[in-house]
Amino acid sequence: MGDWLPEPTRAQMSLDAVLHALSDSHRRRIVAMLAADVEQRRTCTSFGLPLAKSTRTHHFRVLREAGVVRQWDAGNAKLNVLRVDDLDARFPGLLQAILAAEPRVG
């Protein structure tokens, strides 16, 4: 596994930052796709988002800096995983509520 990118600890995660990160439909789609993926390790380009690379990078940075996803370098790519345990421990029920409100993704 490559180097982890900076992220807040569980205790440092703030509700304001998490809600801001989840306020964007593209970022909610990323979260829903990570939650639906059994492997839960995906590159930033594997989401099929119709966005410029710089915009995708911005969305993943917002999610990572809020503590919603964990990212690490894997060669020329960045792998992503949803921080389910940390989100559930810090904000019980929030992730499930967000996912329930989102259309199903595959």
Per residue in 74-90, pLDDT (tens digit) is 888 889 999 999 999 99
Please name which of 33, 32, 35, 38 lies closest in space to residue 102, comparing C-alpha atoms: 32
Q: 19 pLDDT band (50/70/90 cuts)?
A: very high
Q: Kindly tell me if the per-residue pLDDT of 3 is higher than 80.
A: no
Q: Residue 106: which pLDDT band, with cuts at 50, 70 and 90?
A: low
Q: Which residue has the higher pLDDT, 46 or 21?
A: 21
Residue 1 has pLDDT above 60, yes or no: no
User: How does the average pLDDT of the chain come out, rounded?
Assistant: 90
- Structure letter (DSSP) for residue 40: -
Instruction: Give the three-state DSSP class for 74.
Output: strand
Does this model's pTM top 0.85? My answer is yes
Closest CA to 13 of 63, 49, 50: 63
pLDDT digits (tens, 9 = 90+) for 40-62: 788 888 888 889 989 999 999 99
